[in-house]
Amino acid sequence: MNQDELKALVGQAALQYVKPDTVIGVGTGSTVDKFIDALAASGIKIAGAVSSSVRSTERMRALGIAVLEASEVPALGVYIDGADEIDPQGHMIKGGGAALTREKIVADLAQTFVCIADASKQVPVLGKFPLPVEVIPMAAAQIARRFAELGGQAKLREGVVTDNGGLILDVHGLSITDPVAFERDINQWPGVVCVGVFARNKAQVCLLGTPTGVQQLQF
Ligand SMILES: O=C(CO)[C@H](O)[C@H](O)COP(=O)(O)O
């Protein structure tokens, strides 16, 4: 099975977490695209979706799935999204698609975060994947210097402006052994909009695509 097929497998498997007539949260990325396609094809009627990006909103609307504003919904049962890395506790690095801030906002509304990913995303310690950090443009250089003090090399993602008008720094060379403390600390730096470590909003479930089928992890 190639990576695309593994993504389709977990996108399909995530349907078991979609309850008819409820509002769900939907993330962003190529794996989530497969979930959106599977949901549209499934015939499951949901009351709507809160979307984490313009990209997912457009895809859902094109397939006839109603998209609601986050402000219209006090809580969500489930949020379904991909990840760039996931550790043995369900902490994740996210933001490869630059949608991390809205992803964290929607994840925060949800009772259960269901992560869908191919097995290559599983890691013992977060940090091999360059850590995305959304920043206010005028703070980018100062934040890059602060990451250098921690041993990281922050590179501006060229040509990318987020849905919120922010910039993305990709920070290489970090080993994030305490994701909870790391997320809390970096979030306090002036000019950081959102750090791509999802520790407080970690996954409760992960559906991992493997060549022998879907492996389900609970955290
Ligand atoms: O965090 C994300 C977007 O900001 C994605 O969930 C993450 O990058 C994984 O994407 P893909 O499913 O394409 O591998």
- Tell me the pLDDT tens digit for each residue of 33-81: 999 999 999 999 999 999 999 999 999 999 999 999 999 999 999 999 9
**Residue 110 forms beta bridges with which residues?**
76
Q: At what angle do helices 54-62 and 30-42 cross, to 10 degrees?
A: 20
| Percent of all residues in the chain with a pLDDT value above 70, rounded to a whole number | 100
- 109 with 25, same domain: the answer is yes
pLDDT band at 192 (very low <50, low <70, confident <90, very high): very high
Which ranges constitute the DSSP H helices of 14-151?
30-42, 54-62, 100-109, 140-149
- Token pair for 148: 């250098």
The residue written with tokens 């996954």 in the block is 203
- 86 with 50, same domain: the answer is yes
- 108 with 213, same domain: the answer is yes
Give the pLDDT score at 214. Answer: 97
Instruction: Give the total number of structural domains in the chain.
Output: 2
**Range(s) of the domain holding residue 71:** 3-122+200-218
| Mean pLDDT, residues 156-173 | 97
- 39 with 117, same domain: the answer is yes
Give the pLDDT score at 34. Answer: 98
- 118 with 167, same domain: the answer is no
- 154 with 78, same domain: the answer is no
Give the CATH number, domain containing residue 47.
Answer: 3.40.50.1360
- Average pLDDT of every residue of the chain: 97
| Mean pLDDT, residues 169-194 | 98
- 63 with 138, same domain: the answer is no
Catalytic residue positions, numbered? 103
Say what the alpha-carbon torsion angle 26, 5, 16, 48 is, to the nearest 10 degrees: 30
- 191 with 204, same domain: the answer is no
Give the pLDDT score at 18. Answer: 98
- 110 with 154, same domain: the answer is no
Q: How far is Cα 54 from Cα 28, in angstroms, rounded to an integer?
A: 9
The CA 145 to ligand 1 mean position distance, Å, reads 26
Reported pTM? 0.96
Pocket of ligand 1 (CB under 6 A): 27-31, 81-84, 94-100, 103
